[in-house]
């Protein structure tokens, strides 16, 4: 049974953040708000938790396209090959914000992701998500919460999310209603930026 924990984005309660981080450190799966849709996440260093998420999504872990939720750009070199000035300027302009940037993966990636040539990096403009990552001390590996309903692609009500995911995760954070538009995905791993998915983030950042 998953706990439903209310955390306010304006001023996340440190005790509640600590509670969620403790669950992440112990291999638990957490559903949390971002600046776009709600995400399902775990500690990047916990292979068993990563395998759980891959099973839920019905994909092989080595082939899964999960995003890395980072607190800022300071630890980027741990997961991404050296990037040029133009790329860094785009990241600086857009983040924190509703974007997923595909970047060339480095050889320091966790073992399960070693074969991946690229990784998706997110720095969401949401203080709950950022507080979790800061307190955890490393990225959260994340994927969006989809809804099977063809009309509603993403569930926005945390109580409905809790009802649906109750037996699959340890904690659902109620951070208020989520958005129903996903992040804009931009591939920066090649010489020219390529838009993979137009979402909430404006494309002006690459122009």
Q: Is the pLDDT of residue 147 over 70?
A: no
Domain that includes residue 146, residue range: 3-206
Please, which pLDDT band fits residue 149 given cuts at 50, 70 and 90? low
For range 112-118, the mean pLDDT: 88
Percentage of the chain exceeding pLDDT 90: 80
Q: 16-40 in b/e burial notation, b at 16+ Cβ within 10 A?
A: bbeebbebbeebbbbbbbbbbbbbb
Q: Is the pLDDT of residue 179 over 80?
A: yes
pTM as predicted: 0.94
Nearest Cα neighbor of 52 from 201, 173, 167 is 167
CA 65 to chain centre: 11
* Block residue for tokens 């940037």: 101
Task: Name the domain count of the chain.
Answer: 1
- Min mean pLDDT across 103-112, 124-133, 178-187 is at 103-112
- The CATH number for 67's domain is 3.90.870.10
Q: Is the pLDDT of residue 139 over 70?
A: yes
């Amino acid at each position: 049974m998953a706990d439903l924990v209310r955390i306010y984005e304006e001023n996340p309660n440190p005790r509640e953040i600590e509670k969620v981080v403790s669950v992440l450190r112990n291999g638990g799966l957490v559903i949390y708000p971002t600046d776009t849709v709600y995400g399902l996440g775990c500690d990047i260093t916990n292979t068993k938790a990563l395998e759980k998420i891959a099973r839920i999504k019905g994909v092989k872990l080595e082939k899964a396209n999960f995003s890395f939720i980072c607190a800022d750009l300071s630890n980027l070199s741990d997961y991404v090959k050296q990037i040029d000035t133009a790329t860094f300027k785009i990241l600086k302009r857009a983040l924190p914000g509703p974007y997923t940037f595909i970047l060339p993966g480095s050889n320091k990636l966790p073992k399960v992701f070693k074969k991946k040539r690229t990784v998706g990096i997110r720095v969401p403009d949401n203080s709950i998500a950022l507080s979790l990552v800061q307190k955890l001390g490393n990225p959260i590996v994340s994927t969006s919460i989809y809804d099977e309903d063809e009309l509603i692609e993403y569930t926005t009500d945390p109580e409905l999310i809790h009802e649906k995911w109750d037996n699959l995760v340890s904690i659902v954070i109620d951070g208020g209603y989520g958005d129903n538009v996903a992040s804009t995905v931009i591939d920066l791993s090649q010489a020219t930026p390529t838009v993979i998915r137009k979402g909430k983030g404006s494309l002006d950042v690459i122009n």
